[in-house]
Chains A and B, each alone.
Chain A
Amino acid sequence: MNAVFEAFKTRAEAVSAEVHRFKTREEGLTFILGFLKDAGVSDAPECGAVWAAGTFIDGAAKDDLKVKVPGICFDITQAASAASKVGISQLDWAISATGTLVQDASAVDKRLVSTLPPIHMAVIGTERILADMGSVLEKLRPEQLNYISFITGPSRTADIERVLTIGVHGPERLIIVVVDELQQVTA
């Protein structure tokens, strides 16, 4: 698993994503909360964080989290996402060959939190990293899913003089939080 993770990390970092790995869910959560605080997330306007549902967060005491970092919102709408600084969502699979994250984004809130805020934090279990796109397409089938997103790094463009620019319409930072002890149900 370590080799697969390392390959994923190298690839993801090559396209400007930031990758952090934690052993337990608790450690991952602490990191995220710390990050939100440092990023200045608060209940002031335009400073919130939207957090989409997923096994990582579903069991947590959400009210406590809201006390620890005011500004976290679990009730996701387009307006809330557009007005937030950070969007957090759980991803379903990852691809080590290209540093790609894959999401069953049938639930539109997952799309909103990963597109509209300037920072996207993506949580994923270590054992969900697969070799290539083919392996992922065996697991996620569009017959059952309305929308599948493949995300590789933050939003980018090279439309002006081919100068690479990060953060056009989508997020300018993609922070991937990989957690070893995270049970994910197969989507």
Chain B
Amino acid sequence: MHADTEIKFRDSAAKALLDPQLRANFRRAMDGLIFKRKAQFPNPRDLEDLRDLSTAIRSRSLLNLPALLEQFETQATKNGIQVHWAETCDQANELILGILRSKGAKTLVKGKSMVSEEMHLNAFLEEHGIEALESDLGEYIIQLDGETPSHIIMPAIHKNKNQIARQFSQKIKDAKYTEDVDELTAMARKVLRQKFLDADAGLSGVNFAVAETGTLCLVENEGNGRMSTHVPPIHIAVMGLEKVVATLEDVAPLYAILTRSATGQAVSTYFNLITAPRGAGEKDGPQEMHLVILDNGRSRIYADPQLQATLRCIRCGACMNHCPVYTRVGGHAYEAVYPGPIGKILTPQTEGVGVRHDLIHGSSLCGACGEVCPVKIPIPEILVRLRREATHEDVGSQVNGKGTGRTATEDWAWRLWALANKRPALYRVITWFATRFGNALPAGAPLIKDWTRTRTKPVPARRSLSERVRAKGVPHV
């Protein structure tokens, strides 16, 4: 059972709403992303066709997930990739630390990976004396300030260029103050280029893993993904276990809808199909390639036929770009690695529906996320399901923390409700009081205060329905 004070999202969202700069930064960026995505799909029919196809591919992949993972592992191993499995984030972190230690590696340069954020890998490695440096420009910006990503595609979108200019001039050696975006980018490039050349190992995420060929597909624009995967002598990739698809033919439509939905690009600048480490007789390129496949609660999600849809996600970020809540409060208010609508359904399932019931309720259920999702994840339906899971201990459900989201107040309220509805005499007494005196209750009264904070207090009718019906002389009431 949970104390009522633990609703974090409400408080952090309220705080975020008071920051006009933050709101402006998000509004501008999200409007741009919405517009660019729309321009990529001039014909709604084509968009629907591609969504249908992508949904089918992801659903089919999940249907065969255990077999595909096995096939992928066999194939990748044959190609020379060392595959490791991690049930928890701790195990994944230990695995990566082990790989780095066995090679005496002291520095790791990272391409963008949300799974590594999920693992809090950077902090873990720092604790163990290994420098982990983000190389994606957005990730680099937030790492300088010790922040977490506020968007899964554009991690530093909560900051504007003046804030970044100030930050760079303070944190980068010999940097001058400039608000010119090209110059800021050039500064980061210079610092990071040297780090790339000196790094002992590189880390990347994975967008799709192809079972048939054992190939890792990596989508990116900056070129840091390419560098992370072939400049340092060791390449470590991390991915969630849901990322696998059967064939290369499955990848083309998913890639097409991913870049269009994410940044409104027809294609990304770089798309890399990585199948094996350095070949025999080559002077450069990674000598070793490792892949860490992370579960972290995904198997449990997988086991539920309805919730399994959560794993179709291709991490495009379109749901957050279109979310009326996200665009107003920004990503940090969620206090979760994955913010926005996808985070609202994913985080409670991995961390527990009880502990994160704040997220499950932080939605108006407007449906925008489900409508834009390229793989048609029914986010609103899943939210409703999780709301029930948070307060019920249904038999057969595997949901993490089911039934632990009840609060004492809510419990009592429903008990009284049930009592009143089972006893007509009591019900009549209550409605009599409510119709006579309900209006006199101030909006700020305890219990109704939470409801009226963002809503108008309901005005009770002067007579209850049963009173009026009886007054008309209808029999048997």
Q: Do chains A and B interact in one complex? A: yes
Query: What residues of chain A have their CB less than 8 Å away from a CB belonging to chain B?
Result: 15, 77-78, 82, 98, 100, 106-109, 111-112, 115-116, 133-134, 137, 141-143, 145-163, 165, 167-171
Of the listed stretches B265-273, B347-355, B377-385, B423-431, name the one at the interface; the rest are far from the partner chain: B265-273
Q: Is A147 within 8 A of B230, CB to CB?
A: yes
Which residues of chain A are within 8 angstroms of B273 by Cβ–Cβ distance?
Answer: 142, 145, 147-150
Is the beta-carbon distance between B279 and A169 smaller than 8 angstroms? no
Contacts of A134 in B (CB 8 A): 249, 252
Q: Determine whether B160 belongs to the interface, using a CB cutoff of 8 Å to chain A.
A: yes
User: A165 with B230: in contact, given A152-B269, A159-B138 (CB under 8 Å)?
Assistant: no
Q: Which of B257-289 contact A (CB under 8 A)?
A: 263, 266-279, 282-285
Query: Contacting B136 at CB < 8 Å: which of A109, A141, A150, A159?
Result: A159
How far, in whole Å, are A151 and B220 apart by their CA atoms in the complex?
10
Interface of chain B residues 13 through 31 with chain A (CB within 8 A)? 25, 28-29
A179 to B255, alpha carbons, bound, how many Å?
29
Is A169's CB under 8 angstroms from B224's CB? yes
Beyond A137-B249, A142-B248, A151-B269, list 6 extra A-B contacts (CB 8 Å): A108-B283, A151-B270, A159-B141, A160-B156, A161-B161, A170-B222
30 contacts between A and B (CB under 8 A): A78-B283, A98-B266, A98-B267, A100-B267, A107-B282, A108-B278, A108-B279, A108-B285, A115-B230, A115-B231, A141-B248, A146-B277, A147-B272, A148-B272, A152-B270, A156-B221, A157-B137, A159-B138, A159-B156, A160-B181, A161-B25, A162-B29, A162-B33, A168-B189, A168-B224, A169-B189, A169-B192, A169-B196, A169-B226, A170-B226
Name B221's closest neighbour in chain A (CB-CB).
Answer: A156
Closest to A81 in B: B284
Complex CA gap A100/B308 in Å reads 35
The reply to whether B230 and A108 contact each other, CB–CB distance below 8 Å, is yes
A141 to B215 alpha-carbon distance, docked (Å): 10
Using Cβ atoms and an 8 Å threshold, which residues of chain A touch B224?
Answer: 168-169
State in angstroms the CA–CA spacing of A158 and B184 once bound together.
12
Q: Within 8 Å CB of B161, what residues of A?
A: 160-161, 163
Q: Does B398 contact A (CB under 8 A)?
A: no
Measured between alpha carbons, how far is A147 from B255 in the docked complex, in Å? Answer: 17
Question: Which residues of chain A are near B252, meaning CB under 8 Å?
Answer: 133-134, 137
Decide yes or no whether B32 CB sits under 8 A from chain A.
yes
Q: Are A160's CB and B269's CB within 8 A? A: no
Interface string of B228-266 (1 = CB under 8 A from A): 001100000000000000001100100110000001001
Cα A42 to Cα B362 in complex, Å, equals 61
B193 touches A169 (CB 8 A): yes
Q: Are A155 and B221 in contact (CB under 8 A)?
A: yes
What A residues does B248 contact at CB under 8 A? 137, 141-142
Q: Which residues of B contact A142 (CB under 8 A)?
A: 210, 213, 215, 248, 273, 275
Q: B135 contacts which chain A residues (CB < 8 A)?
A: 169
**A61 vs chain B, min Cβ distance (A):** 25
Among B164, B185, B227, B283, find the residue whose CB has the most chain A CB atoms closer than 10 A.
B185
Q: Is the CB of A160 within 8 A of B272?
A: no
Residues of B within 8 A of A15 (CB): 269
Asked whether B157 is an interface residue with its Cβ less than 8 Å from the other chain, the reply is yes
For the complex, is B197 an interface residue (Cβ under 8 Å from A)? Answer: yes
Residues of B within 8 A of A146 (CB): 79, 274-277, 279
| Cβ contact within 8 Å between B284 and A109 | yes
Inter-chain contact B223/A115, CB cutoff 8 Å: yes
Least CB separation from A144: chain B residue: B275
- Could you give, for residues 147-170 of chain B, a 1 whenever the CB lies within 8 Å of some chain A CB and a 0 otherwise? 000000011110111001000000
Cross-chain contact of A168 among B154, B157, B223, B256 (Cβ < 8 A): B223
What residue of chain B has the Cβ atom nearest to residue A16's Cβ? Answer: B269
Among B249, B267, B276, max chain A CB count under 10 A is at B267
Q: Across the interface, do B160 and A159 meet the contact criterion of CB distance under 8 Å? A: no
Given known A100-B267, A148-B272, A152-B269, contact A165–B182 (CB-CB < 8 A)? yes
- Chain B residues 98-139 with CB under 8 Å of chain A are 135-138
In the complex the two chains form, is A150's CB within 8 Å of B272's CB? Answer: yes
Are the C-beta atoms of B141 and A160 separated by less than 8 Å?
yes
With A and B bound together, what is the CA distance between A137 and B267 in angstroms? 15
In chain B, positions 163-213 with a C-beta closer than 8 Å to chain A are 164, 181-182, 184-186, 188-189, 192-193, 196-197, 210, 213
Task: Verify B284–A160 contact, CB threshold 8 A.
Answer: no
Docked complex Cα distance between A137 and B212 (Å): 14
Contact A168 B272 (CB under 8 A): no
- Across the interface, which residues of A come within 8 angstroms of B226, CB to CB? 111, 115, 149, 169-170
Given contacts A78-B231, A150-B271, contact A162 B285 (CB under 8 A): no
